[in-house]
Amino acid sequence: MNKFIYAGVAAVVLAVGAYVFVGTGVTPAPESTFVLLDGSKINTSSLKGKVTLVNFWATSCTTCVAEMPKIIATYDKYKTKGFDTVAVAMSYDPPAYVVNYAETRKLPFKVAIDNTGSVAKAWNEVKLTPTTYIVDKQGQIVKRYVGEPNFAELHALLEKLLAAS
């Protein structure tokens, strides 16, 4: 009987050790500076305290353009509950196109232009658009979507994160 107890304890210790070693899948958002369309700058650290969607996109990306109304709707739905959005235009996107898109579509959230590519590089070498990160109130990346997110799943995640203290 004692052999079974020791084996059970050993299995639990190994499982906990593996979990700690592998990690929770949550990583800190990289420190970077977003240059907004109006020329102002915000840092990743300034996003702490809110749940934030960081979306890497381009005006030439058809999926990005198709998902943008859903990102606007998501922002509008959760903005009063401690949610924010930063749309980061890729370095190859002409700034005039980004400004025109943001103005004509009346994007209600922060729009940044990553003209040097340093922000995309810091955020895990983003090359494919759209790529979207969800950052929790503590500044931890909890989810990454490559391609258009499943918005029902995304909303459920946001509600869970916004409810957390």
- Which pLDDT value is given to residue 26? 81
What span, in angstroms and rounded, lies between the C-alpha atoms of 14 and 121? 36
Question: Whose CA is closest to 159, among 51, 25, 28, 27?
Answer: 51
Nearest 5°: CA angle at 47, between 128 and 123? 25
DSSP for 101-120, please give it. Answer: HHHHTT--SEEEE-TTSHHH
**CATH fit for domain 27-163, picks 3.40.50.12160, 3.40.50.970, 3.40.50.300, 3.40.30.10:** 3.40.30.10
- Which pLDDT value is given to residue 61? 98
- Which pLDDT value is given to residue 145? 97
pTM of the model: 0.84
Nearest 5°: CA angle at 85, between 76 and 149? 85
Q: Tell me the pairing of strands 83-89 and 51-57.
A: parallel
Question: Residue 49: CB partners within 8 Å, gap ≥ 6?
Answer: 82, 137
Q: Tell me the residue type at 161.
A: L
Inter-residue contact 65 to 104 (CB < 8 Å): no
Structure tokens at 49: 């305290």
**Sequential pLDDT tens for the chain (165 residues):** 454 444 444 443 333 333 333 344 689 999 999 999 999 999 999 999 999 999 999 999 999 999 999 999 999 999 999 999 999 999 999 999 999 999 999 999 999 999 999 999 999 999 999 999 999 999 999 999 999 999 999 999 999 999 987
Q: Residue ranges per domain, the chain?
A: 27-163
